[in-house]
Amino acid sequence: MPPSDVTNRRVLAIALPIVLSNATIPLLGAVDTAVIGQLGAAAPIGAVGLGAIILTTVYWVFGFLRMGTTGLVAQARGAGDHAETGALLTRGLIIAGAAGLALIAGQEALFRAAFRMAPASAEVEALARTYLSIRIWGAPATIALYALTGWLIALERTRAVLVLQLVQNGANVVLSVWFVLGLGWGVPGVAAATLIAEWGGLALALWLCRPAFAGAAWRDWKRVLDRARIARMAAVNRDILIRSVILQASFTSFMFLGAGLGDVTLAANQILLQFLSITAYALDGFAFAAEAVVGQAQGGRRRADLRRGAILASRWAYAGAALLTLGLAAFGPALIDLMATSPEVRAAARAYLPWAAAAPLVSVGAWMLDGVFIGATRTREMRNAMIVAVAIYVAALLALLPAYGNHGLWAALMVLNLARTATLAARYPALEASVAT
C-alpha cells in the first residue's frame, strides 16, 4: 500500500519536478525557431511553425491518455492492486500504438485536411509537408509517452518525468543545432532531430517504467483484455476527450473573435496568451499532485486523505497563482516590450494586461478541481460541468463582446474559468461523500 499520510512535503515532492519539467516545453519551440531562423529566409520558419502546430493539435487529442492513465493507476495503487497498475500501462501502450499507426497510415488525408484549414504559400506548404512526412513517424512514440508519463505521475515518480523531459528536450535541441547549422539539413534537419528525440524519449520512458515490466501482470492478457476493465478505461478516456475538445473550442473561439477586432488587438492578445500559457504550465504541477494523491486516496477508500490532498495541493497552487499575478502586474509591461516592437501593439497589450495578470488567481480553482476530479476518475461530472461552463461562457460573450470589445472578450474568458470552478465545486461534496472513511 502507498503511504496514507498526506503532507505538504509529499505534495511538493510531486509538484515541483513537474513545474521544472514544464519549463522546458516552451523553451524547445523557441530554440527550434531560432535555429531555423539562422537560415535567413521566412519560408522555413513558417513551415516549421505550421507543421509543429498541425502535429501538436493532432497529438493534443490524445492527451486524454495521460490524464486517464494517471487517475486509474493512482486508484489501483491506492487499492493495493499492483497487478492492475501493470495491466493499465499495457492497455495504454496498445492504444498509443494503434493510434500512432493509424496516423501514419492516414497521413496523406490528414495533411490535406490540415492545409485546407490553414492554407499557406506554395513554398511554405512544400517545406511543411517535408517536415510532417518525417515527424509523423514519431506518432506511436509521442502518444505512448502520454501513457508512460501518466503512469509515472500516478506513482508519484515526477522526478523521473523531469529527467525524461530534460533528456528528450535537451537531445532535441542539440540535434537540431547539429543537423541544421552543422550539417545544413534545413527543415528536414529540425524534423529529424525531433523524430529521434521522440523515439529516444520513448526508450528512456520504458526504462524508467521498468518496475511495471518486472512482474508478469503487464503481459497477463486475460487481465489486460478484460472487457469490464477496458470498458471503464474507455469511458474515462471518452469523457476526458469530450471535455477537452469543448474546452479547446472555447479557447479557439477566443482567438478567432479577437482576430475580428483588428490586427493590433489580435497581436496583443497573442502576447498576453503566452503569459497565460506559462502560468498554466507553472501551476500544472500542483494539479498533477492532486491527481496522484486524490487518486490513491480514492482507491484506498480514505476520505480524509482525499480531502487533505485536495486542500494542501490547492493551497500551494493559490500561493503560486498569487505570486504569478503579482509578477505579471509588476513585470508585465517589460515583458511586453521584449515580445513586441510595435508601439501600437505594446500599448494595446498594456491596456489588456490587467486581465492576463488576474488570470492565474481567477483560473487556478478550475485547474485544481480538474486535477481532483481526474484523480477520482469522476470524468462524467467533469464533462457535464464543462458543458454548463461553456454555455455560461457563450452567454457572457453575447452580452459583453458587443458592448465592451476586447475587454468584454477577456471578461468572458474570466467568466469561463470562474464557471468551471463553480460547476466542479458544486459537484465536489458528492465526490467526497462517495469515498468511504
Q: How far apart are CA 380 and CA 2, in angstroms?
A: 27
Find where cell 465545486 sits.
Answer: 425
Q: What's the mean pLDDT in 208-215?
A: 90
Give residues with Cβ within 8 angstroms of 252, minimum separation 6: none
Mean predicted confidence (pLDDT) in 49-75: 87
Write the DSSP assignment of 55-105 as a string of letters: HHHHHHGGGHHHHHHHHHHHHHHHTT-HHHHHHHHHHHHHHHHHHHHHHHH
Q: Are residues 179 and 270 in the same domain?
A: no
Over the chain, what is the mean pLDDT?
90
pLDDT band at residue 135 using 50, 70 and 90 as cut-offs: very high
pLDDT band at 117 (very low <50, low <70, confident <90, very high): confident
* 178 — pLDDT class (breaks 50, 70, 90): very high
Residue 368 burial (CB < 10 Å; 0-12/13-18/19+)?
Answer: buried
Residue 316 maps to a domain = yes
DSSP summary character for residue 435: S
Residue 221 has a pLDDT of 92
pLDDT tens, position by position, 141-155: 999 999 999 999 999
1 domain residue, yes or no: yes
400 or 126: which carries more pLDDT confidence? 400
Q: Residue 405's pLDDT is what?
A: 94
Instruction: Return the sign of the alpha-carbon dihedral for residues 289, 19, 22, 142.
Output: negative
Own/partner pairs for 312-315, CB < 8 Å, 24+ apart?
Answer: 312/6, 312/7, 312/8, 312/11, 313/11, 313/15, 313/286, 313/287, 313/289, 313/368, 313/371, 314/286, 314/290, 314/364, 314/365, 314/368
Q: Cα(348)–Cα(232) distance, rounded to whole angstroms?
A: 48
Stretch 4-11: mean pLDDT, rounded?
A: 87
- Whether residue 336 is found in the same domain as residue 413: yes
Give yes or no: residues 149 and 297 share one domain.
no
Name which of 299, 281, 290, 360 is nearest 12 in CA terms.
290
| Residue 52 pLDDT grade (very low, low, confident, very high; cuts 50, 70, 90) | confident
Residue 232, in any domain of the structure: no
Lowest mean pLDDT among 128-132, 213-217, 337-341, 419-423: 337-341
Q: Which residues contact 137 (CB under 8 A, 6 or more apart)?
A: 104, 195
In this structure, of 59-63, 119-123, 306-310, 318-322, the range with the lowest mean pLDDT score is 119-123
Digit-coded pLDDT (tens) for 11-21: 999 999 998 88
Q: pTM for this structure? A: 0.89
**Terminus-to-terminus CA distance in the chain, angstroms?**
16
Is-contact 381 235, C-beta < 8 A?
no
Q: Do 145 and 279 reside in the same domain of the chain?
A: no
The DSSP H or E segment spanning 327 is: helix 303-339
Q: What one-character DSSP code corresponds to residue 217?
A: G
User: Who contacts 271 (Cβ-Cβ below 8 Å, separation ≥6)?
Assistant: 336, 339, 340, 345, 349
Residue 283 scores a pLDDT above 60: yes
Domain that holds residue 4: 1-225
Angle between helix axes 8-22 and 158-176 (nearest 10 degrees) is: 10
Considering the domain boundaries, does residue 151 fall inside one?
Answer: yes
**Cβ(283)–Cβ(366) under 8 Å?**
no
Q: Domain count of the chain? A: 2
The rounded distance, in Å, linking the Cα atoms of 156 and 17 is: 10
pLDDT in tens, 243-280: 988 998 888 788 778 878 887 888 888 788 878 888 88
Domain co-membership, 193 together with 243:
no
Structural domain contains residue 405: yes
pLDDT value for 51 = 80
- Domain membership of residue 231 (yes or no) is no
C-alpha cell at 125: 506548404
pLDDT, residue 33, reads 67
Q: Is residue 109 part of a domain?
A: yes
Per-residue pLDDT averaged across 366-386, rounded? 95
Boundary residue ending a domain (225, 256, 289): 225
Where among 183, 202, 225 does a domain terminate?
225
**Is 150 found in the same domain as 262?**
no
The residues, ordered by sequence, that sit 6+ positions from 106 with a Cβ below 8 Å of its Cβ are none
Are residue 20 and residue 161 in the same domain, yes or no? Answer: yes
Residue 215 shares a structural domain with residue 67: yes
**Residue 222 in grid coordinates:** 486475460
Residues 212 and 244 in one domain: no
Q: How many residues does the chain have?
A: 437
103 belongs to a structural domain? yes
Residue bearing the bigger pLDDT, 4 or 119: 119
pLDDT of the residue at 4: 56
Q: Is the domain of 100 the same as that of 245?
A: no
Strand segments, DSSP code E, in 317-427 are none
Q: At how many degrees (to 10) do helices 122-135 and 107-117 cross?
A: 140
Element (H, E) at 212: helix 210-214
Q: Residue 107: pLDDT above 80?
A: yes
If asked whether residues 205 and 292 sit together in one domain, one would say no
Residues 242 and 199 both lie in one domain? no
pLDDT per position as a tens digit, 65-81: 999 999 999 999 999 99
Domain boundary among 225, 251, 269: 225
Q: Is pLDDT of 1 > 60?
A: no
